[in-house]
A and B are shown apart, each in its own frame.
Chain A
Amino acid sequence: MVNIPLIRKLALLPGEKIPEWVILELQGDLQTECEILAGQEIGTLHLAAGTSSPQKSSAYGGMDSSFRGEGKAIFLIGNYALTGEIVSLKKPLALLRKAKQAGPTGDFISILEVDAVVRKKILFRERPRHIIPSCALPKTT
């Protein structure tokens, strides 16, 4: 039988909490033509301020009705806007990483380290909305 010890992150000091990370949950998959993702930009994330009375209209016209109040988020990816909200997970998720550790006999044994814990996610459950390209072009100044 395989028996793998699961422990907290080795680098943690005694009494130190396991770091808390966040998940961005996107509907479907991210598609890209890039072979190497490391270092690539995905988009920009905008969070709503805690509000009670959303202001009607501004320089940018009518406010998106789905985007009001604390906990809401907008993720702009290319010419798409994703509307989402911050959700507390019913059960936390532990991020496990395979690692090796010296065993009692000096051999290296496989272990699982809990690097982080996730208690919140930003869930983008609606379909991405296309932004009219002419308005979406970045300024060239």
Chain B
Amino acid sequence: MASGSTSMHSVEELEPLLAASKINLPNLLPEVQCILFADDYASEDTMLMEVTEEMISQLENGATLSVRGTTEDSAVLCTESATFEVKLREVSNALLVSPDVKTAACLDSAAPRTVTEKHIQYTHGGFLELRPLVPRCARAKHLLEEAPFTGLEFEFETEIGKKFTLEELLETVQSSRQELRQYLATTINTCEIDGKIRLLPHSYVHKLTERVLGWAAANSLPWESIPDYEASSALLELEPESVMRDFFWPKFSEKIGDTLRLLPDAIARTYAAVYLSAGDKTRCDQFQDWWRKTVPSVLSVDFREELLYGLAYKTEKETPAAYIYLAVEDLPTEPDKRFRRLFQERKKWPRDELVAYLSGTLTGSDTVEKLLTKFTKTITMDGNAFLISLSLI
């Protein structure tokens, strides 16, 4: 290949070669680019990565993306709002990267014929490919479980574990900032207390609920219409302000004008979570009996199985029937692993119940429909439609 000479060719010298290659000379652009390896050619410490135009403009505007790798999992790239798995894609071709080779559009077709020197700076045999990934936020839950918040009165216990700020979590969790925030706000129960993100266990949330209901009853306030200001301030002395302001009211009430209306279904579900999470399996008749006696009658929430979707499911054949505790936030986030796990738990699922177990597993252009088509098949039994695993067929 390389002639070993760095001297420039003349146009005349190249003519016999071009003639032999049977290229019609008048049809070529007048600038001949003589390609050399750059004097400081060295490919180490560089790599090519497939990106999007959006990422380029973010970078040009000064944004910082981050590459996060752990020993257990593949590396990811995080932008402010999305997470991508980084995979090396090797190609059988040689990719010669040049800072100055010109493509036709930049060359003047009317210029005199010349030979110019152009350089190859790096050679690569592949590039890094980005694939949209569900952020690996479950790690945040494991970390937060080291020091759950169970009330101010327990904060001074010595065995309390490490607490984390959002920034500290981002150093360890393979997720973009926006996705982690979303996870902390919706998938699990957390609140920022004194600058640290704290996990609020079901039992503590249950305690908060009881306290709010007790306080409303004591003050003859209907649960449908709790004065906003009064509600917050009255409970402040007992709970950190942020727990009520940032967690409890947004999650368990809706704002109507100046008042807050509690959400009975969300509260009832909290009660169910405490009871069901205490064991792996609970007999259905016992659970429904407990529900009637325990869920505050003032909220008048009649038991419906859909209230347990994503929290527990009913056994298929066992007698007596039982609920198995299975919280959606404890399931794998990758779609294939999620479906495998769900169909290990139960061979056939009613559609709505299965869909409730898919939250937090959608990525990029995925939709629930696409996932269901990819992993499941509909069958009809006794007039009822169920989804079964495609891989079992």
Closest residue on chain A to residue B127 by CB atoms: A93
Chain B interface size band reads 35 or more
Q: Is the CB of A49 within 8 A of B27?
A: yes
Docked complex Cα distance between A121 and B50 (Å): 14
Docked complex Cα distance between A116 and B236 (Å): 54
Closest residue on chain B to residue A117 by CB atoms: B56
Q: Is the CB of A93 within 8 A of B23?
A: no
Q: Is the CB of B101 within 8 A of A5?
A: no
Closest residue on chain B to residue A7 by CB atoms: B64
Shortest CB-to-CB span from B154 to chain A, Å, is: 30
Shortest CB-to-CB span from A35 to chain B, Å, is: 12
Q: Is the CB of A25 within 8 A of B109?
A: no
Find the residue from B9, B13, B21, B118 having the highest chain A CB count within 10 A. B21
Q: Is the CB of A26 within 8 A of B37?
A: no
B39 interface residue per 8 A CB criterion? yes
B94 partner residues in chain A, CB cutoff 8 A: 25-26, 28-30
A127 partner residues in chain B, CB cutoff 8 A: none
Instruction: Map CB proximity to B onto A42-70 as digits: 1 under 8 Å, 0 otherwise.
Output: 11111111110011001111111001101
Find the residue from B4, B17, B37, B127 having the highest chain A CB count within 10 A. B17
Find the residue from A43, A70, A77, A129 having the highest chain B CB count within 10 A. A43
Docked complex Cα distance between A120 and B103 (Å): 8
A38 interface residue per 8 A CB criterion? yes
B393 interface residue per 8 A CB criterion? no
A45-B32, A45-B118 given; A95·B97 CB < 8 A:
yes
Q: Is the CB of B48 within 8 A of A71?
A: no
Q: Is the CB of A6 within 8 A of B36?
A: no
B234 interface residue per 8 A CB criterion? no
Docked complex Cα distance between A1 and B94 (Å): 32
* B window 88-128: CB within 8 A of A: 92-99, 101-104, 107, 109, 115, 118, 120-123, 125, 127
* A window 112-141: CB within 8 A of B: 112, 114-118, 120-122, 129, 131-132, 135-139
Docked complex Cα distance between A70 and B26 (Å): 13
Interface-forming stretch among B65-73, B197-205, B250-258, B276-284?
A: B65-73
Instruction: Map CB proximity to B onto A67-87 as digits: 1 under 8 Å, 0 otherwise.
Output: 110110111111001000010
A45-B101, A92-B52 given; A98·B34 CB < 8 A:
no
A1-B70, A19-B99, A60-B22 given; A48·B29 CB < 8 A:
yes
Binding site for A on B (CB under 8 A): 1-6, 9, 12-29, 31-42, 45-53, 55-56, 59-60, 62, 64-70, 75, 77, 92-99, 101-104, 107, 109, 115, 118, 120-123, 125, 127, 171-172, 174
Binding site for B on A (CB under 8 A): 1-8, 12, 14, 16-19, 21-32, 34, 37-51, 54-55, 58-64, 67-68, 70-71, 73-78, 81, 86, 91-98, 112, 114-118, 120-122, 129, 131-132, 135-139
